[in-house]
Amino acid sequence: MLVASSAGGIQGLGTLLGGLDAAWPAPVLVAQHLRRSRETRIVAVLSRATALTVTLAQGGEQPQAGTVYIAPPDRHLCVHETGTLYLTREDRVNSARPAADPLFESAAKTYGPQAVAVVLTGADGDGAQGVRAVRAHGGTVIVQDPETAAFHGMPKAAIRTGQVDYVLPLAGIAPALGRLLGIP
């Protein structure tokens, strides 16, 4: 599962991850726009909101079910063809690093139809290109309803692609993910 968020994203991520059971059967890869100028506390904050294990992603890791991997500040989180994670300092995408598009695009190539991408609140258009890649490889795209988002930019940009499977209020995303993965 892939998740992208920006402005207002910490609260949105807390709500989404808080709705996932500790036995969640898939890894969760997150691109949250983070400031590079200071140490991030996102792991501590999100760990309080969810029963899942939350960690900053490291290059070379094989993602494990029930673990949330957060892109570290100033690094894009990507998935290698072998399924391992890697981090890059390639150019900013949509003025951000980490950004959603590199994560979505690399994961779409690796996971194909098994990729599920979620776009949450954010002020810019990051994730729209990645949404196209996920759908082109047969994956599923869920977008937070802009009316329930703190910032509408990212959800609206994703919706404008015409490549979105579900537009749901924030509180409805975790249950929908459970249904997609066959979890009662």
Catalytic residue among 6, 76, 137, 152: 6
Catalytic residue among 76, 101, 126, 137: 126
Instruction: List CB contacts of 172: < 8 A, sequence separation 6 or more.
Output: none
Is 106 among the residues known to form the active site? no
Is 33 among the residues known to form the active site? yes
Is 21 among the residues known to form the active site? no
Catalytic residue among 33, 76, 137, 152: 33
Instruction: List CB contacts of 108: < 8 A, sequence separation 6 or more.
Output: 115, 117, 130, 133, 134, 136, 137, 139
DSSP assignment of 112-162: GGG-EEEE---SS-TTHHHHHHHHHTT-EEEEE-GGGSSS-HHHHHHHHTT
Residues known to be catalytic? 6, 33, 126
